[in-house]
Amino acid sequence: MLFQYWKDEYLTWDPSKYGGLDVIHVPSHMIWKPDIMVYNNANMNVEENELETNAVIHNDGRMMLFRSLITDITCNLDLTYFPFDQQVCYLMFASWSMDGSKVLLEASNRSDNLDLYIGNTEWTLTDFGFRRNLKYYACCLHAFPDLSYFLVLKRSPSYYIFSLVIPSGFITIVTIIGFFTPHSSTGENTEKVSLGVTALLSMAIIMMMVSDEMPATTEVIPLIGKYYIGLIFIIFLAAFTTTLTLSFQMRGNSGRLVDPITKRFFFITLAKNPYISWIFSVQLPPDIGESADNVELKQKEQTFVFAGEGDRVANKSCRQSNGYIVGGKGEDGENEMRNKKMIDVKLVGVENGAAILKKQDTSGEESSTPSVFPTHVLDQVRTCLQAIDDARITEHIKARIRFEWQQITRMIDRIIMILFIVATTIFATVMLNSQGEKIVLTDEVMNRVKH
């Protein structure tokens, strides 16, 4: 609603001559009125957006015209802190054809009268002001006056927080939780890579939604744009570091030994430190810091030796060796177990280059007559058992190497997780608290906005 007041000395009368009539209402198109318009109007069809009203004429020539119009104005938006931004827009009223010698504009009320202001759910009016300007043009001698009304509008960020910021926060939290996931059943832990790629795709989709919501501008990058670019970069780093930890874990599957310096740093300096060990929560055996050679030596010390006392040698794989082993076939091709009984043997001693064994059947009764076996048979048995023990030790060492790399990978994951949480928290806090200072209308602000 635009209220216009002026005085027309040609429209006066004596109320006593017209029955005391001192005020009349006439259509505005029937009288002269100043051609005041909104200079920064973005819609050229002014007549279509204005409702024609009657003018109020007093007997002393005072004129009042209450114009009801809807207008779209141009406003330079500063989207640096979008969606927590504040905008300063103005409406400039001036005569299109009359200079200051014919029409002199003055504000009717020096106070900030907002009684007719209707609030908006997206924008909140935080400050209001006006000023009168005189502008000179090269064509004319006199200045053209104008009245400019300035509005400070603060955007309500609720819609953007619930539709854009919070979903991206949940996606980031899911990515962080991915660092807590244990190793997969296959031992390769590829699910984390899939999680990182899925998070990146989700952020890209939300970024497209953000670009649709933001006004097109090339001057600055909006705050929410920086926020999403930062989150995408953090999630990208998370996926990239996951591939690195995956490569560390694959070293264990290939049987590559852990470097002694690396092992000492992770398993002694970090895992056994009482102040930070709770962060990693890894279960380590007492000899985890020892080398593979020491572990192999301990395993060999605990390995079964054929020449030991009272140890049984009836191993299934050794039963099928050539020679005089019980249950096999002799050099003459005949079955030595003619009585069809399973017989175990026990070493008694060695005499004249031959092994003396006692036979024991499945009933547990020992034979009183020792059997003499050539020593080369004993060597074959020892070789067979040694191969079995070597295979068992090798498999144990491989499993231990895999376990060490898995624990190192787990500790690296925890370190990356902590860095990821700290970086994401600091970044989100800084971004979401960067709302800029409250704008107060001053002459400097008005001059900057208008020019």
Shared domain for 38 and 135, answered yes or no, is no
Confidence of residue 312 (pLDDT cuts 50, 70, 90): very low
Q: Is residue 308 part of a domain?
A: yes
Q: Is residue 41 part of a domain?
A: yes
Shared domain for 293 and 320, answered yes or no, is yes
- The tokens for 25 are 């209402």
Q: Is residue 427 part of a domain?
A: no
Q: For the segment 224-244, what is each residue's pLDDT rounded down to a tens digit?
A: 888 888 888 888 888 888 888
Looking at residue 315, its pLDDT comes to: 41
Q: Three-state SS for 338?
A: coil
Shared domain for 13 and 145, answered yes or no, is no
Range of the domain at 142: 78-95+110-156
Shared domain for 49 and 120, answered yes or no, is no
Shared domain for 310 and 416, answered yes or no, is yes
Residue 56 corresponds to which amino acid? V
Three-state DSSP string of 97-139: CCCCCCCCCCCCCCCCCCCCCCCCCCEEEEEEEEEEEEECCCC
Shared domain for 32 and 89, answered yes or no, is no
Shared domain for 64 and 82, answered yes or no, is no
Looking at the structure of the chain, the number of domains it has is: 3
Q: Is residue 270 part of a domain?
A: no
Q: Is residue 263 part of a domain?
A: no
Shared domain for 311 and 389, answered yes or no, is yes
Confidence of residue 412 (pLDDT cuts 50, 70, 90): confident
Confidence of residue 31 (pLDDT cuts 50, 70, 90): very high
Residue 63 has pLDDT above 50, yes or no: yes
Shared domain for 37 and 62, answered yes or no, is yes
Q: Is residue 376 part of a domain?
A: yes
What's 8's domain CATH number? Answer: 2.70.170.10
Provide the whole-model pTM: 0.66
Q: Is residue 216 part of a domain?
A: no
Shared domain for 339 and 415, answered yes or no, is yes
Shared domain for 286 and 386, answered yes or no, is yes
Assess contact for 304 and 315: CB atoms under 8 A. no
Shared domain for 86 and 64, answered yes or no, is no
Q: Is residue 447 part of a domain?
A: no
- How many CB atoms within 10 Å of residue 277? 13
Residue 14 has pLDDT above 90, yes or no: yes
